[in-house]
Structure 1
Amino acid sequence: MRVLFRPQARVELFDAQDWYEARAPGLGLEFARAFEAALQSACRHPAGFAEVEEGCRRVVLRRFPYSLYYRVDGDQLLVVAVFHHRRPPSARQGRSD
């Protein structure tokens, strides 16, 4: 499956990784691995995760308080957000289109 990122989702991913790395060396890499595992799960089972909006699904990362939000269109998976659980859902509204 081909993976694409919305620009804002890519920024969210790198910002989170940088934040964790600044807290403890190696923690940013652990976050990146948790994200990659969630992404691979979504690619293997694109319809297997909770639909949070019409056509938009969510994978919760292990160990970190983040979720990966994505849409599937044919053989493409579009990452629309990498979202911290404490952020208000309204900050993500409209990004799954």
Structure 2
Amino acid sequence: MRRVSFCEEARAEFDEALAFYTAERVSLGEAFVAAVESATQRAQRHPESAPVIRGRVRWMHVERFPFSVFYSLVDDSIRVLAVAHERRRPFYWFSRR
């Protein structure tokens, strides 16, 4: 199974969303973590099943939340480029590697 790594900006986006949901309700923050983990695990199990949206970047919806995980396949790993809110600036993260 491929290893998953987050770029610095994607990790910061994840942390920011987690802080928001945890402030609303601790269990909501926990659910967000579980949903992002589920999305990255789906990407690990079936890395090429997610649609390519631009270049070599693929996306996986985070269930129950208005977020998507955008990633690319790099050698034997999955590089998460963004944990992006689906209703905000599309492709703002596209220059990331």
**Structures share fold, TM-score greater than 0.5:** yes
State the distance in 2 between where 1:11 and 1:42 align.
Answer: 20
- In structure 2, give the amino acid aligned to 1:75: D
Residue by residue over 1:70-96, the C-alpha shift from the partner in whole angstroms, topping out at 9 and shown as x without a partner, is: 00022111000000011111422322x
Tell me the secondary structure at the aligned position of residue 71 of structure 1. strand
State the Cα distance separating 1:5 from its structure 2 match. 1.1
Conservation of the 8 A alpha-carbon contact between 2:81 and 2:93: no
Distance of aligned partners of 1:33 and 1:23 in 2 relative to their CA distance in 1, 3 Å threshold: same
| TM-score, normalised with respect to structure 2 | 0.93
Q: 3-state SS of the aligned residue for 1:77? A: strand
Please tell me whether residue 55 in structure 1 is matched to residue 19 in structure 2: no
Q: Deviations over 1:30-73 (max 9, x none)?
A: 00000000000001111000101111000001000000000002
Specify the alignment match of 2:9 in structure 1: 8
2:79 is aligned with 1:83: no
The residue that corresponds to 2:38 in the other structure is: 37
Secondary structure in 1 aligned to 2:32? helix
Superposition CA RMSD, Å: 1.0
Q: Say whether 1:27 aligns with 2:31.
A: no
TM-score scaled to structure 1, two decimals?
0.93
Stretches of structure 1 lacking an aligned partner (at least 5 in a row): none
Q: Give the SS at the match of 1:46.
A: coil
Q: Sequence identity of aligned pairs in percent?
A: 36
Q: Which amino acid counterpart does residue 5 of structure 1 have in structure 2? A: F
* Separation in 1, partners of 2:37, 2:45: 12
